[in-house]
Structure 1
């Protein structure tokens, strides 16, 4: 889809690219549909890059954690931020550690869900000792 953008939208696109270091086609639609919201997002999202004490590599590792998290799972962003992290000196081991830390988010499904499942099973007449092995009951 080839969308026409205004001069102001082109300025915002250039500013985003300059301040964030990249542009994705994903942003085109948002920029065109709601220029004011896009500008507010631009101001908000560039704050960590304009000030702060974290190294760019650490910021990219945080973006990797966000894009890899079970609540986000954004492959395009993940690929982009891995490339940036490498440019800033990250190692594959550091990225794997981010994955390992982020993967712990998914375990919360079990931590919350399993006790509820056991409770509901017991309410329906199935005792935990009927569904869990002796080892699991310890």
Structure 2
């Protein structure tokens, strides 16, 4: 599998910055090389690109708050970061409102099926 846990700069950077998911400790035990490669990959958009940091943080709030992720420590960290780079309370609230729209898909899929099934049982 993997070699020594020494010399993993991206892993160490994430741990020191507080951008660390405790579940990654298990990945680090199993395959620190994979974890290091993953952290390098996920850091690319944060390190460069045309979007302002405020926009990046708002997107990361949406990702972490979405019904398919719901990672509270990430939401907290990126709200703190967004405020530090100038996001307003209203912008963050709108971001959360927009990300909540993902959950409505369950109704868009489920309600027509429910109506169909109820119709079948009524016959």
TM-score bin, normalised by smaller chain: 0.7 to 0.9
Q: Residue 72 of structure 1: SS of its match in structure 2?
A: coil
Provide the aligned length of Structure 1 versus Structure 2.
Answer: 119
Instruction: Answer yes or no: is the 8 Å Cα contact 2:11–2:35 preserved in 1.
Output: no
Q: Following the alignment from structure 2 to structure 1, what is the Cα–Cα distance between the partners of residues 88 and 30?
A: 38
Q: Distance in 2 between matches of 1:25 and 1:44?
A: 16
**C-alpha contact 2:65 2:72 (8 A) present in aligned 1:** yes
Per-residue CA distance 1:65-124 (angstroms, 9 max, x = gap): 011111111111111110011111111100000011111111111111101000001111
In structure 1, runs of 5+ residues without a counterpart are 127-138
- When the two chains are superposed, the root-mean-square deviation of aligned CA atoms in Å is 2.0
Among 29, 43, 46, which residue is 2:43 paired with? Answer: 46
Superposition TM-score, scaled by structure 2 size: 0.84
Counterpart mapping for 1:92-111 below 5 A:
92-111=89-108
Partner residue of 2:109 out of 108, 112, 116: 112
Q: Aligned to 1:67, what secondary structure does the other structure show? A: helix
Show structure 1 runs of 4+ deviating over 3 A: 15-18
Give the alignment's TM-score, normalised by structure 1. Answer: 0.76
Equivalents in 2 of 1:32, 1:61: separation in Å? 32
Structure with more contact order per residue of length (Cα contacts < 8 Å, sep ≥ 6): 2
